[in-house]
Structure 1
Amino acid sequence: MSTVTLLCWNFENNGKSDSRRRRAGDEKLKALNPDIVFRQELWDADANGRTIFNDQARALRLQGVLGESSCTAVFFNPAKFSVVRDWSQSRGPHWVLPPTALTLRYEDAGPEALPFNAVSYHLNYASATQRLLESEWLTTWADKGWSTADGTHVTLPAFLAGDNNSYPTPGGPGDPALPDLASIKNEPHRLHRSYAGPSGTQVPDTRPDAAFRMAGLKDVALYWATAPHGAPAALSRTVNACDTHGPDSRVDRAYLTPELLPAVLGFEVIEVDEDLSDHHILRFTLDSDQFAGVLARGATGEPG
């Protein structure tokens, strides 16, 4: 069976400003044989004419688009995908760390098939209010219109993956519980990961997850963990517990539009050593024939 592999990783400070560590991270990603990589924290990758970024693309054997200020990037396999549109974003009131958003064509689906949107994002670290604003804007990529060859207006499928700096509402066995805020020893971080609930009491921030779900997006890990053929381990932590930041959490997540769910073959969290990064790697795979079929049917106006 032919597959498409997608990875998401907040690789801490792009190797913590250490070229050897950065290369080790790139080699780890390459060994997972990805077709699309959603990356966050590529600080300084744009310096000197994007020398570092271009070196990383070569290391991965992929092409890539680096977002503004090296906040995010999307890499892709040029043998399978091509860029239809680059939705470049700038810093502003609705983006502290701008996302990288591309419309990609899956070549194996054929020239008449729909393209799809692929978005790498990194929600704000310190403000629950800002995160909600950013997540609301991110849902616009699940609502991008497209005119098919016969003039039918349809909505493009979409993948969104990144660091949410907030929690999902636990949805299945093994999903990390929401933290008791008092267990977060660092008081500023306690504020950063919470918001004032209806009673005025601070509660853990789950609002980005709620916004994505309200917009119809599906948490891939939750889908796979609760599917009859799936695996509960899909809900594994993506960030380890620590004294200052509280318990294990699943702050890194991937979402997709529901017509893509039948193509999902698996989801897992690949843990990495804390010396390499403070976040683990998400890997999810698609059945390439099912994926191509969803895109082809979408171009005829049929449901995925």
Structure 2
Amino acid sequence: MSTAPLTLLSWNFENNGKKDPARRQAGDELLKSLNPDLVFRQELWDADENGRTVFNAQARALGMHGELGDGSCTAVFINPGRFSVVRDWTQSRGPQFVLPPTALTLRYEEAGPDALPFIAVSYHLNYASPAQRLLEAEWLTTWADKGWTTPDGTRVTLPAVFAGDNNSFPVPGADGDPALPELLAIKNAPHRLHRSYPGPDGARVPDTRPDAALRTAGLEDVARYWAATQNGTPAAVSRTVNACDTHGPDSRIDRAYATPELLPAVDEVDVIEVDADLSDHHILRIRMNAGRLVEILNRAAA
């Protein structure tokens, strides 16, 4: 069994390289340099054209197996030496998802054939509508409630990890988290609308409802968890989107959530800053302890 740590990355690579093959190649090379085992990607526009030619080339560039979601909105790449796909929970565009997530049941091969698999979901919440984002977040939680029958016939709930672009803010509370914006400091009026909702008194407030919904369903913000542990640091909750005049201050838009049983396997969380010419989002990185993950998946199966 490999003792090498597992590296999970989540990245909204802007417009999949802005339709520029050289920029797309640079993004793929950056991801590959981080030696990922599991990649949650967003904004792969046009990767499905011509028989997924672009997407297949990107999977080869990463040296990974790729699963592309409907409309090239999201994708998951896996290290085939460590993971295999058990089930594809394909979603199409509809009232519940404007940008459909890619959701897979994965087996961690190093845990052995009787260990529980787990759910991995790459998602991209709606850009413009806080009401739609809340709906989408609520639907995401259905993948934290998928059943599995163990070899002895027991029905259990699968662990799950979600990562993506939330287009909204985390509820304040983590030491070092970027502050919520002052809405009037967001100079672009439509963007103020996109990132807020009417509070109880009718005044608009920054949109934190997707984060609240996911955590109400029992999921944990992995970066917030790590920042709060004895060995964690505030670097875990670093910005993933830079401040700009029109859209407001630094923000932690990109986040990962996990069911609680997976959290003891987390060894580190940080953010890899990316040059603005390459993408408008930074890369969220999570390292997991391989041995602890094996124990968790086998203990849950037992």
Deviation at 1:11, TM superposition (A): 0.1
Q: Residues of 1 paired with 2:172 and 2:287: CA distance?
A: 23
Q: Which residue of the partner structure matches residue 117 of structure 1?
A: 119
Between 226-235 and 239-248, report the one with greater CA deviation: 226-235
Gaps of 5+ in 1: none
Gaps of 5+ in 2: none
Q: Which residue of the partner structure matches residue 49 of structure 2?
A: 47
Counterpart pick for 2:140 among 128, 138, 141: 138
Q: Which residue of the partner structure matches residue 104 of structure 1?
A: 106
Q: Residues of 2 paired with 1:244 and 1:140: CA distance?
A: 35
Q: Which amino acid aligns with 1:166?
A: S
Q: Residues of 2 paired with 1:231 and 1:138: CA distance?
A: 28
Counterpart pick for 2:209 among 207, 210, 213: 207
Q: Which residue of the partner structure matches residue 190 of structure 1?
A: 192
Q: Which amino acid aligns with 2:140?
A: L
Q: Residues of 2 paired with 1:83 and 1:33: CA distance?
A: 20
Render the CA deviation track for 1:263-285: whole Å, top value 9, x for unaligned: 00000000000000000000001
Deviation at 1:232, TM superposition (A): 1.0
Structure 1 residue matching 2:239: 3-state secondary structure: coil
The answer to whether 1:179 aligns with 2:173 is no
Deviation at 1:216, TM superposition (A): 0.6
Deviation at 1:172, TM superposition (A): 2.1
The answer to whether 1:76 aligns with 2:78 is yes
Task: Give RMSD over aligned pairs.
Answer: 0.6
Structure 1 residue matching 2:285: 3-state secondary structure: strand
Q: Which amino acid aligns with 1:28?
A: L
Structure 2 residue matching 1:146: 3-state secondary structure: strand
Identity %: 73
TM-score normalised over the length of structure 1: 0.98
Q: Which residue of the partner structure matches residue 128 of structure 1?
A: 130
Between 170-179 and 210-219, report the one with greater CA deviation: 170-179
Counterpart pick for 2:221 among 196, 202, 219: 219
Structure 2 residue matching 1:228: 3-state secondary structure: coil
Render the CA deviation track for 1:172-225: whole Å, top value 9, x for unaligned: 221011101000000000000000111111000000000010001011110111
Structure 2 residue matching 1:89: 3-state secondary structure: coil
Counterpart pick for 2:280 among 278, 281, 296: 278
Q: Residues of 1 paired with 2:112 and 2:173: CA distance?
A: 37
1:60-75 equivalences under 5 Å are 60-75=62-77
Q: Which amino acid aligns with 2:281?
A: H
Number of aligned pairs?
300
Q: Residues of 2 paired with 1:142 and 1:189: CA distance?
A: 31
Deviation at 1:170, TM superposition (A): 1.9
Q: Residues of 2 paired with 1:235 and 1:78: CA distance?
A: 30
Q: Which residue of the partner structure matches residue 152 of structure 2?
A: 150
Q: Residues of 2 paired with 1:72 and 1:204: CA distance?
A: 25
Q: Which residue of the partner structure matches residue 20 of structure 2?
A: 18
Q: Which residue of the partner structure matches residue 56 of structure 1?
A: 58
Counterpart pick for 1:235 among 234, 237, 241: 237
The answer to whether 1:247 aligns with 2:253 is no
TM-score normalised over the length of structure 2: 0.99
Render the CA deviation track for 1:34-75: whole Å, top value 9, x for unaligned: 000000000000000000000000000000100001000000
Greater than 6 Å deviation, 4+ residue runs? none
Q: Which residue of the partner structure matches residue 161 of structure 2?
A: 159
Structure 2 residue matching 1:51: 3-state secondary structure: helix
Deviation at 1:2, TM superposition (A): 2.1
